[in-house]
Structure 1
Amino acid sequence: MLKNKFSLKDIPGWAVMLGIFGILYLTGLHTEAIGQVQRLLLATGIKNADVPEALQNPDAKAVANAAAVANSEMAGAGFKMVDMQGRQIAFESLKGKVVFLNIWATWCPPCIAEMPNIQQLYDKVGSDKIAFVMLSVDEGGMAKVKKFIDRKKYTFPVYMPASQFPQEFYSTAIPTTFIISPAGKIVAKQEGMADYNTPEVIEFLQNMVKE
């Protein structure tokens, strides 16, 4: 009696996919793989970051500016951060600049997905008047975060919390991005991944610098 010969074609598709995912998980590459898939989603343009409508309206903008003058305390006042060189920085030292604050982690696929477009945005508008704060909430320590950033060759400024997290920056999602005005007020908040390298976001940031 002839025995049936085993063939790879006999392996069910679900088993192959489960095996591939198992290998990715064991090697720690599953986060990267999911992030790449989500990056393709961003490339379709259906997840572009929202530009606040209120601040496109001149009258509303004037009201926002008046409120900022009335209350001069900066969002996140008292919060301390540490950069990848180990230097401690007070968040409120950024007052007077437009701040692009992104809260992320190395284990977060949506964070990984949106980082390339944030790097592109930083290359276009990053300056002494527009500060980028890529704030990692990883618990694995600075070495893990620095290794990730170096491997990806990102050049935007990366920080980790060095004090209690401000109530203003709490969110139910990660990543979450805040845009803070030179007066220290949160003028935009985006929960979840988005594409920030768009003409609308670039114009929004640059217009705040001119105000």
Structure 2
Amino acid sequence: MKKIYLFFMIVLALIFTGCQEEDEAQAVVIKDSKSFKELKKQGNKTYSLETATGETIKLTVENDTLTSKDLENKVVLINFWATWCPPCKEEIPMFNRVYEKYKDDFIIIGVLYEKNKDMKALAEFLRQYNMKFPVTINEQENFRMAKNFDDVKRVPESFLYGKDGKFLEKYVGLVDEQSLITHIKDSLK
């Protein structure tokens, strides 16, 4: 009997202490709605990437599958990089070679992972390194994409998708040229 009485008293206490004044409840809702909007924005897996040449590449990555009308029937390497990063600079000549050799079936999207980059300095860098593949420049969209792509924090980091859009491989650090070529050739079969 004492247990039932105690249980009844706890339930009543929770009911009466759980109520708040209306102003306090609204303040919580306002805070939560902002957080929800931010979380929803982070969860959006569709990206509209602006390139240094003024083009837009639209793609969606969800459940390890990349879909895009702009990239249909191509092997896609999404490479997060920065101009100050020595390994990033080191892999550019290899990327240019592979991109030129397989450009009908393969594309690299260089996602600039750098804050406050001066566009004139970037243009000079792209010219100096003769980057043949698209480089995306919208800082906000690039960083949102990096967050959604396994929370990229270091560069270079790359994600490879087959012609069917299925995820193939993640590279942390330099991309292995032979592995990349093998994946491209396998997708051509």
TM-score, normalisation: structure 2: 0.61
**Are 2:91 and 2:174, in contact at CA under 8 Å, matched by a contact in 1?**
yes
Mark the CA change 1:77 to 1:201 in structure 2 (over 3 Å): closer, same or farther.
Answer: same
Deviation at 1:113, TM superposition (A): 1.4
Structure 2: distance between partners of 1:175 and 1:122: 17
Are 2:48 and 1:80 equivalent residues in the alignment?
yes
Partner of 2:160: 179
Structure 2: distance between partners of 1:80 and 1:185: 20
1:102 to 71, 74, 79: 79
1:165 to 114, 126, 145: 145
Structure 2: distance between partners of 1:78 and 1:183: 17
Deviation at 1:86, TM superposition (A): 2.0
Deviation at 1:169, TM superposition (A): 5.1
Mark the CA change 1:143 to 1:80 in structure 2 (over 3 Å): closer, same or farther.
Answer: farther
Deviation at 1:77, TM superposition (A): 4.2
Please give the root-mean-square deviation of Cα atoms over the aligned residues, in Å.
Answer: 2.2
Structure number with larger C-alpha Rg: 2
Are 2:170 and 1:189 equivalent residues in the alignment?
yes
Unaligned runs of 5+ in 1: 1-75
2:131 to 149, 154, 163: 154
Counterpart AA for 1:182: K
**Are 1:126 and 1:132, in contact at CA under 8 Å, matched by a contact in 2?**
no
Mark the CA change 1:135 to 1:144 in structure 2 (over 3 Å): closer, same or farther.
Answer: same
Partner of 1:135: 111
Structure 1: distance between partners of 2:168 and 2:129: 30
Counterpart AA for 1:110: P
Unaligned runs of 5+ in 2: 1-43, 60-67
Share of identical aligned residues, percent?
25
Deviation at 1:87, TM superposition (A): 2.4
Deviation at 1:95, TM superposition (A): 4.0
**Are 2:158 and 2:175, in contact at CA under 8 Å, matched by a contact in 1?**
no
The count of aligned residue pairs is 132
1:204 to 170, 183, 188: 183
Mark the CA change 1:144 to 1:170 in structure 2 (over 3 Å): closer, same or farther.
Answer: farther
Counterpart AA for 1:135: V
Counterpart AA for 2:157: T
More strand by percentage: 2
Mark the CA change 1:179 to 1:194 in structure 2 (over 3 Å): closer, same or farther.
Answer: closer
Deviation at 1:183, TM superposition (A): 2.9
**Are 1:118 and 1:195, in contact at CA under 8 Å, matched by a contact in 2?**
no
**Are 2:74 and 2:106, in contact at CA under 8 Å, matched by a contact in 1?**
yes
Counterpart AA for 1:114: E
TM-score, normalisation: structure 1: 0.55
